Structure 1
Amino acid sequence: MLCAVYKSIRKSQTYLFIAKRDDFEPVPDALLTQFGPPQLVSLLNIKPDSKLAATDANTVIEAIQKNGFYLQLPPPPVDYLEEHKAWRKKQLEVFNETD
């Protein structure tokens, strides 16, 4: 499936995949308002076995066929404090087992 990929200038790491270049008719107005002026990044020929950086190719293809677009949002932020707490807890458990 050939599709156009646009990035948001307002929302970092947010991308919009649509079936036809510059055809934003299937995209809800509220989404386009929040997305901001779309900036063309690439034209991609996505196949079911294509490797995409942040999502599965089949998910993108199905969303475009069903809704006319696919919105890729940025990954959730990493909670480094929680990661550290979990690591520290594990270290203490290992330390206590060796006593």
Structure 2
Amino acid sequence: MKKICSIYKSPRKNEMYLYVLKADGLERVPEALLPFFGTPLHAFDLVLTPQRTLAREDIVKVLDNLEQQGYHLQMPPAEDEYIEHLPEELLRRNDPM
């Protein structure tokens, strides 16, 4: 199963992305989602297959959401994840001890 999708980034939330089938555009995205997401900004197009890996998302879940609901919303990572990936130097600089 190969899907060509367009990926949009949110102007309101850093690292929040909306995946849609390129052929459908934004027509299957619920209106109620857009005020929360903001006006979608096209980031890039991508061919998705079950064999492809994505940095933060499970490709099977993304493909299933595209098929079932017509979009996939990638939420920003939790703040804990940001802290886990900060270089040790930055963590030491902010340590009050």
SS in 2 for 1:10: coil
User: Percent of pairs identical after alignment?
Assistant: 38
Deviation at 1:49, TM superposition (A): 1.1
SS in 2 for 1:26: coil
Q: What root-mean-square deviation, in Å, do the aligned CA atoms of Structure 1 and Structure 2 show?
A: 1.7
Matched residues in 2 for 1:8 and 1:68: separation? 17
- Point out the structure with the larger helix share: 1
Equivalent in the alignment of 1:6: 8
Q: Report the AA paired with residue 56 of structure 1.
A: D
SS in 1 for 2:62: helix
Report which of the two structures shows the higher radius of gyration computed on alpha carbons. 1
Unaligned 5+ segments in structure 2 are: 84-97
**TM-score scaled by structure 1?**
0.74
**For this pair of structures, how many residues does the alignment match?**
80
Q: 2:22 aligned with 1:16, yes or no?
A: no
Q: Report the AA paired with residue 43 of structure 2.
A: V
1:28-85 C-alpha deviation (Å, 9 max, x unpaired): 11101111111111100001011111011111110000000000001111186xxxxx
Structure 1 ranges of 4+ moved more than 4 A: none
